[in-house]
Structure 1
């Protein structure tokens, strides 16, 4: 059964293209819309660099979910190519309608579709998809793969620093009062995900203190378990590399021979967090 089951995820999962191809994971793109012109995430027009520049330049940048029609066509194509089941693993349904689209499309699929709302974003969605892939590679069923994806996502931690809450406010991910308060007090917010929602965790006075606190949160969350870790950023490679280097040393026992990955988030997540964002996505090794 495992060999005939296909894992699908979306472009927010921050999966390297070569890794997705190697695992046979199908990645479907969300859209980034700049000044009313939409492009699939992953294209040059809405690369992280282009999105950061558009935000800095004051352009109107929004995003659009994967539609039910797109996923229905994909599921039918996979069935025609011989798939017997699909495990569809997606960004939190509290911040994107993509998971809802997968549920709708699953009802119209000629083969069973096991949908997974990771209640995570970025690399932790990708780590959940990889957990499903691992189960299938070991001969597990589609149902077992979906359960593994949900379990890994539920045990994962997402922490992120943003220079300003303004971009999250524009996208409706935090309320206007929170964004105004953050700006008025000139604080640097640290955020997390709770039950799939972006939630304020702490407010720190300087970027340096915020990034140091981010490091401590990641180390505490790791505890003594074996983990995978991705440091993600938008237009902030030096901050991300420095944080990754410190965590490579501090979490050496937790990581074993696994590398701390540094990745720039795609245009969809980038549109909501803004330039300067640095995040840690920590997932247990099951």
Structure 2
């Protein structure tokens, strides 16, 4: 068979891509009032401004079941599971615990993507492409790790209350300036969400978002992803500017943030992820 690649639903990969590359998606949980729903599985209607909405990671037991099914599908070739940053969620830790509880733990590798959203999705895609090429378990794992290390993520948000409350962004990082008159531009650094700068107007903020992504992309081509929550027009503007300013762009994915991330980022959030050099890694030594 071939190595099977697993990710969690926060990776935001469009369904057509997960189907095309045989990627298995483990659902995270969204807590709406007294209900727990599985992202990407159960229907979810969310008021993103409500204080009664939160999220939780998949449990070790849930991930163990997903990994065991994927391992069976691989016919023993192995599983690489790529999850959102351990600095932002307990999902990676749950995955590590799940592997410890498995009989065939040596055939499963768990990767910290050092990111969230498509910053998890593109390393997952890199791994799946290497697996499709017939690579062995260690090579598929390295494809994910390499793409994750190279990825750079920038996110423009309207508010940071939920991120502060959840401990994903320090109060000290955002204490200066009112969010009514400034727009926080965040970045992910070594898996942590940090404030990059505050911009006075939304139009200037889009420009700074694009400029940061272009600088990070380099000159050797890049895989690029644009994400948004309820802001398709903004995503179109940003993706159009990226196409103009990155003529050697290798691929561009535009997707919406799912509920598990949207709860924390809020409506209107727009993010850009770049992987310098792209996600189509060499297949030398694939066997």
Structure 2 partner of 1:73: 65
Structure 1: where are the runs of 5+ without partners?
none
Structure 2 partner of 1:261: 253
Structure 2 partner of 1:176: 171
Structure 2 partner of 1:249: 244
**Alignment equivalent of 1:193, drawn from 188, 197, 201:** 188
163-172 or 95-104, larger mean C-alpha shift: 163-172
CA distance in 1, matches of 2:114, 2:56: 18
Structure 2: where are the runs of 5+ without partners?
282-287
Q: Give the conservation status (yes or no) of the 8 Å contact 1:34–1:59.
A: no
Could you give the per-residue CA deviations for residues 74-117 of structure 1, whole angstroms, max 9, x where no partner exists? Answer: 22223444343111111001101111111111112233111100
Structure 2 partner of 1:29: 27
Q: CA deviation at 1:21?
A: 1.4
Aligned pairs for 1:82-161 within 5 A: 82-111=75-104, 112-161=107-156
CA distance in 2, matches of 1:234, 1:170: 20
**Alignment equivalent of 2:209, drawn from 214, 234, 257:** 214
Q: CA deviation at 1:66?
A: 1.0
Q: CA deviation at 1:185?
A: 7.4
CA distance in 1, matches of 2:268, 2:72: 44
Q: 1:201 to 1:179 in 2, by over 3 A?
A: closer
CA distance in 2, matches of 1:156, 1:148: 12
Q: CA deviation at 1:139?
A: 2.1
**Alignment equivalent of 1:228, drawn from 220, 223, 228:** 223
Q: Give the conservation status (yes or no) of the 8 Å contact 1:35–1:59.
A: no
TM-score scaled to structure 2, two decimals? 0.90
Q: 1:139 to 1:80 in 2, by over 3 A?
A: closer
Q: Give the conservation status (yes or no) of the 8 Å contact 2:155–2:272.
A: yes
SS of structure 2 residue aligned to 1:4: coil
TM-score scaled to structure 1, two decimals? 0.90
Structure (1 or 2) with the greater helix fraction: 1
Q: Give the conservation status (yes or no) of the 8 Å contact 2:6–2:67.
A: no
SS of structure 1 residue aligned to 2:103: coil
Q: Considering only aligned residues, what root-mean-square deviation do their CA atoms show, in Å?
A: 1.7
Q: Give the conservation status (yes or no) of the 8 Å contact 2:5–2:24.
A: yes
Structure 1 partner of 2:263: 271
Q: CA deviation at 1:180?
A: 4.5
Number of paired residues?
A: 275
Aligned pairs for 1:54-73 within 5 A: 54-56=47-49, 58-73=50-65
